[in-house]
Chain A
Amino acid sequence: MRYPLLHATGIALTLSYGAFVVWVYATQPRTFQDVAQGARVAAGAYKVDAGRFDTALSLFHRGQYRAAREEWERADPARADARTQFYIAYAFYREGWGRLYRDDALYGQGLQAVDRAIALTPAGSLLVADPDLKMRTAAELKAELEKGRERTWSDLNPLRVLEERK
Chain B
Amino acid sequence: MRDDPVRRQAAARVVLLPLLLLTVALLGGMRVAVDRSFVFLPPPLITLVMAALLYALFLRGRLIRLESWLGSRHGALVNVSHALTLGALFVASAQAFNSVLPEQGLLHWMFAFFFLWTLWNDQFSSFDPFRLLRSLGVLFGTAFVLKHMLLAGLYAPGGSWTRRLAGALFEGLSLGTLEVPAVAPATGYISFFTLALYVAGLALVAPTPDDHGEVRRMLREASQLPPGERRALLDALEEDQRAR
User: A residues touching B (Cβ–Cβ < 8 Å)?
Assistant: 1-4, 6-11, 13-15, 17-18, 20-21, 24-25, 28-31
Contact = CB atoms under 8 A, between A and B. Distances in A.
A14 B75 contact: no
Contacts of B19: 13-14, 17
Nearest to A8: B77
A2 B22 CA distance: 24
B15 A13 contact: yes
B42 to A, nearest CB: 5
B78 interface: yes
A31 to B, nearest CB: 6
Q: Nearest 10 CB-CB pairs, A to B? A: A10-B14, A30-B37, A14-B18, A7-B81, A1-B75, A10-B15, A14-B84, A21-B26, A17-B22, A7-B77
B93 to A, nearest CB: 15
Contacts of A29: 38, 40
Given A2-B10, A7-B81, A10-B81, A28 B40 contact: yes
B202 interface: no
B interface residue count range (under 10 / 10 to 19 / 20 to 34 / 35 or more): 20 to 34
B78 A1 contact: yes
28 contacts: A1-B78, A3-B7, A3-B14, A4-B75, A6-B14, A6-B15, A7-B14, A7-B78, A7-B80, A9-B14, A9-B15, A10-B15, A10-B18, A11-B80, A11-B81, A11-B84, A13-B15, A13-B18, A14-B81, A14-B85, A17-B18, A17-B22, A18-B84, A18-B88, A21-B26, A25-B29, A25-B42, A29-B40
A143 B10 CA distance: 60
Nearest to A30: B37
A13 B85 CA distance: 11
Contact of B26 (A11, A14, A24): A24
B100 interface: no
